């Protein structure tokens, strides 16, 4: 079968496909394919493995009648019009679970870095601004026994909450589409409404998918309802946070700081005001970026495709 990979993925995933006798073509470039080139690739391939952030819209599925399945090497699938894929009979799969620990680690890293202003202090040193030890300068805030609010308590949110509870005995509250009884039982997590999540969280961490419902869910209005000492963490998708509003809220002192592993757009513009604010840590979407996790994601994405090729249901199928 002809398999097209939209961006180079770890070799283990490619090897799994070639060892099964399939012909693999890779778009080996840091520049994403244009919508036209993506359609052209989809017309020439039997299967696609998406290693990047390509968008698959209705026009794509409509114009690729021979495509048999699409496998995403990501857990997020906001870049795919799933109803359109379903309408055109294309199964789509993702890679849940294998990246939860690594992504939760980045949320943890950002929480700790913002609480102690680590990136800002580091920048000060680089700029020659460190004048020596000062008992009243560089003060951070502690995390012990504080309240961690999780917006979207799925696998990654659970993993982050588990680590935060173990390390700092943080009280876990969460807002979700439904109750997460496992988190309530294991972590003593408390289900709250959105307003309580905003007003009670010392650290509020976003782990929900980007949908029309969650887009720009965090904006000036929500920031104003949060504690002035609160930290906002986002390792999910940049589109959940209104970035201009976040910059205004930070300037107005409505929040203590923010840690973002995702932005909107990516990469963010070099003149984005968030880059010049004191207590903002921004990372280039590295949640799942460890050797082990990316290998596992590539293997899972390849296995999903192999299942589809055999005429089996993809183990991590997303379509309803
Ligand atoms: C995911 O898997 O969704 C990560 O954000 C990488 O795309």
What is the CA(253)–ligand 1 centre distance, in A? 31
* Ligand 1 binding site (Cβ under 6 Å of any ligand atom): 74-76, 99, 287-288
Residue nearest to atom 6 of ligand 1 (CA): 74
69 and 213 housed in the same domain: no
Give domain status of residue 314, yes or no. no
Q: How far apart are CA 2 and CA 198, in angstroms?
A: 49
125 and 19 housed in the same domain: no
185 and 149 housed in the same domain: yes
Give domain status of residue 56, yes or no. yes
Ligand 1 atom with the smallest distance to the CA of 53 is 7
Q: How far apart are CA 312 and CA 314, in angstroms?
A: 6
Ligand 1 atom with the smallest distance to the CA of 95 is 2
Residue identified by tokens 């700081």 is 257
Residue identified by tokens 């496998």 is 71
Ligand 1 atom with the smallest distance to the CA of 77 is 3
Residue identified by tokens 């984005």 is 272
Average model confidence (pLDDT) across the chain = 97
Element (H, E) at 175: strand 171-175
What DSSP state is assigned to residue 98?
T
* Helix (DSSP H) and strand (DSSP E) numbers for the chain: 12, 12
64 and 159 housed in the same domain: no
What is the CA(52)–ligand 1 centre distance, in A? 9
Residue 267 preceded by cis peptide, ω within 30: yes
Contacts for 40 with CB less than 8 Å, ≥ 6 apart: none
Overall average pLDDT of the 152-178 stretch: 98
122 and 190 housed in the same domain: yes
Which residues span the domain enclosing 217? 100-282
Give domain status of residue 18, yes or no. yes
Give domain status of residue 33, yes or no. yes
148 and 256 housed in the same domain: yes
Task: Report the share of the chain in percent with pLDDT over 70.
Answer: 100
Count Cβ atoms within 10 A of the Cβ of residue 175 and give its class: 0-12 exposed, 13-18 middle, 19 or more buried.
buried
Q: How far apart are CA 243 and CA 254, in angstroms?
A: 14
123 and 249 housed in the same domain: yes
Residue 266 phi, psi (nearest 5): -120, 130
8 and 147 housed in the same domain: no
Task: Domain count for the chain, please give it.
Answer: 2
Question: Quick one: tokens of 121?
Answer: 């202090």
What DSSP state is assigned to residue 240?
G
| pLDDT score, position 265 | 97
Answer yes or no: is pLDDT of 273 > 90.
yes
pLDDT classification of 29: cutoffs 50, 70, 90:
very high
127 and 243 housed in the same domain: yes
133 and 276 housed in the same domain: yes
Give domain status of residue 317, yes or no. no
Residue identified by tokens 């249901």 is 313
Catalytic residues: 237, 266, 285
Residue identified by tokens 């904006």 is 219
Give domain status of residue 26, yes or no. yes
142 and 31 housed in the same domain: no
Return the number of other C-beta atoms located less than 10 Å from residue 131's C-beta: 8
What is the CA(101)–ligand 1 centre distance, in A? 13
Q: What is the pTM of this model?
A: 0.97
* CATH code for position 299: 3.40.50.720
pLDDT 10s digits, 185-229 = 999 999 999 999 999 999 999 999 999 999 999 999 999 999 999
Contacts for 312 with CB less than 8 Å, ≥ 6 apart: none
172 and 264 housed in the same domain: yes
| pLDDT score, position 72 | 98
pLDDT classification of 134: cutoffs 50, 70, 90:
very high
Give domain status of residue 175, yes or no. yes
pLDDT classification of 52: cutoffs 50, 70, 90:
confident
Q: Is the ipTM of this complex over 0.85?
A: yes
Q: At what angle do helices 118-126 and 100-115 cross, to 10 degrees?
A: 60
Give domain status of residue 316, yes or no. no
């Amino acid at each position: 079968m002809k398999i097209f990979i939209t961006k180079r993925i770890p070799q283990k995933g490619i090897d799994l496909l070639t060892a099964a006798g399939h012909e693999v073509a890779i778009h080996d470039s840091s520049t994403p394919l244009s919508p036209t080139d993506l359609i052209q690739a989809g017309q020439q391939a039997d299967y696609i493995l998406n290693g990047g952030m390509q968008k698959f819209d209705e026009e794509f599925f409509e114009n690729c009648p021979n495509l048999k399945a699409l496998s995403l090497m990501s857990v997020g699938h906001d870049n795919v019009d799933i109803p359109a894929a379903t309408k055109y009979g294309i199964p789509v799969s993702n890679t849940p679970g294998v990246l939860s620990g690594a992504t939760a680690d980045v949320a943890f890293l950002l929480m700790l870095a913002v609480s102690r202003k680590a990136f800002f202090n580091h920048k000060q040193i680089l700029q020659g601004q460190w004048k020596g030890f000062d008992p009243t300068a560089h003060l951070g805030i502690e995390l012990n026994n504080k309240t961690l609010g999780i917006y979207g308590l799925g696998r990654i949110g659970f993993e982050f909450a588990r680590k935060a509870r173990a390390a700092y005995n943080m009280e876990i509250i969460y807002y979700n589409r439904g109750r997460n009884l496992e988190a309530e039982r294991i972590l003593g997590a408390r289900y709250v409404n959105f307003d309580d999540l905003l007003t009670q969280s010392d650290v509020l961490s976003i782990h929900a998918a980007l949908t029309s419902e969650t887009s720009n869910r965090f904006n000036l209005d929500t920031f104003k309802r949060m504690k002035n000492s609160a930290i906002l963490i986002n390792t999910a998708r940049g589109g959940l946070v209104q970035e201009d509003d976040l910059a205004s809220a930070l300037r107005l002192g409505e929040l203590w700081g923010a840690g973002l592993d995702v932005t909107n757009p990516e990469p963010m513009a070099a003149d984005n005001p968030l880059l010049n604010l004191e207590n903002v840590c921004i990372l280039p979407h590295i949640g799942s970026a460890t050797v082990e996790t990316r290998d596992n994601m590539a293997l899972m994405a390849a296995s999903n495709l192999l299942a589809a090729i055999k005429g089996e249901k993809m183990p991590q199928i997303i379509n309803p």
